[in-house]
Amino acid sequence: MASTSIDHAFTTESLLGRAWDPTYAGALSFMRRRFTKNIDGADAVVWGIPFDAAVSNRPGARFGPQAMRRASAIFDNDPQYPFSRDLFEKLAVADYGDCLLDYGNHAETPASIERQASAILDKDAFLVTLGGDHYITWPLLRAHAKKHGKLALVQFDAHQDTWLDDGRRIDHGSFVARAVEDGVIDPEHSIQIGIRTHAPDDYGLEILYGDEIEEMRIADIVSAIRERVGDRPTYLTFDIDCLDPAFAPGTGTPVAGGPSSAKILSVLRRLGTLNIVGADIVEVAPAYDHADITAIAGATVAMFYLALLAEKKAGAVFTG
C-alpha cells in the first residue's frame, strides 16, 4: 500500500500502530518498530546482543540481530499469521537497538549484559532479545530472576548446554548448568525440547529428545510443557539449531534430525497460557544461511513472542 511516509523506525512518534514502509526499503528496525532508548510506556522492547565469542564451533551469531531485523521486514502490514491481528494496535513495542559491549574485554560481557537488561526490565517492559550466541542467556536469566525470582526455563535447542562449568567460563554450552547451580532456574519445573546430543548431566531438567517430538503430536508437546512449568515465572529461550538444518542452516552447530519450523511454531503458538516473563532467540549466524531461511525463522520466533503478548493484552489468549 502506498504511504506518505517512510523510515517508520525514525519518523513515527508512537510505539503503537502499523508501519507502511515497502518490504524492500526503509529503516530496518525489528518489524519497523520505533528505534528509541526512551521506553517509558512500552509493553515490550526488542533488543539485540551481537556477541559470539563463546561459540564452540562456527562463529557469526554476532550478526544475528542485524539479520533478524532485516528478515522481519517480510512481516508487512497485514494481520500476522496465524494470530489474525495487528500486533501493534494495542501493544506498544520499541526497538532498543543493541547492547553496548567491549569486543576486547569479554570478562566484562556478562555484567554488561545483565546491567543493561536490568535497566530495561526496571521499566516494566517485556524483553525480547535477539542473539548472539547462547551464552547471552546466562546474564539475561540473572537479570530476569532479580525481578521475578527463580525461573522456570523452556528451552528449544539441539543441545542441553549442561556441560561442566567452573562459574567463570564464557561458554555457550554450559549456561544451563550454571543457572541450576546458582539457583537462577528451577530444574524441576524446566524443560528442553528438541535435544539431539548428549551432555554429562541433565541437571534435573525434563528432556524431550528430537526423535520423541518427531513422534509426538503438537498437543502432547504443549501439554508436557504446561504440566512441567505450571504457573511459575517462565523464561523462553530458543536456539535456532533446535530446528533441523533444512529449516535453519545458518547456525554455528547444526544437528541433523530436528523438527520442522512449522511444528515448533505451532507449539509456540499454544504457549500463551504460560506466565512468560522474558524470551530470546539465539544462534542465528547469517554467514552460513541461504536466502535468509534461518533469519526468517528466527525473526518469526521473535514475532510469535510479541504476538503472544498482544493476545494476552487483548484478553484473547489462545488455548489450543
* Predicted confidence (pLDDT) at residue 238 exceeds the cutoff of 80: yes
Instruction: Tally the domains of the chain.
Output: 1
pLDDT at residue 23 in the model: 87
Domain residues for the domain of 141 are: 8-313
Mean per-residue pLDDT, 103-112 = 92
Residues 285-312 pLDDT 10s:
999 999 999 999 999 999 999 999 999 9
DSSP string, the chain: ---S---HHHH---SSS-----TTSS--SGGGPEE-S--TT-SEEEEEE---TT-SS---GGGHHHHHHHHGGGS-SSPBTTTTB-TTTT--EEEEEE----TT-GGGHHHHHHHHHHHHHTTT-EEEEEESSGGGHHHHHHHHHHHH-SBEEEEE-SS-------S----TTSHHHHHHHTTSB-GGG-EEEEE-S--S--TT-EEEEHHHHHHS-HHHHHHHHHHHHTTS-EEEEEEGGGS-TTT--SSSS--SS---HHHHHHHHHT-TTS-EEEEEEE---GGG-STTHHHHHHHHHHHHHHHHHHHHHTT-----
At residue 2 the predicted structure's pLDDT band, cuts being 50, 70 and 90, is: low
Residues 311-320 pLDDT 10s:
999 888 888 7
Please report, for the domain that includes residue 186, its CATH number.
3.40.800.10
Residue 60 placed within a domain: yes
Residue 318 placed within a domain: no
* Predicted confidence (pLDDT) at residue 22 exceeds the cutoff of 90: no
Residue 3 placed within a domain: no
The average confidence (pLDDT) of the chain is 94
Higher pLDDT, 76 or 58: 58
Residues 159-194 pLDDT 10s:
998 988 887 888 887 899 999 999 999 999 999 999
* pTM of structure: 0.95
Residue 320 placed within a domain: no
Residue 92 placed within a domain: yes
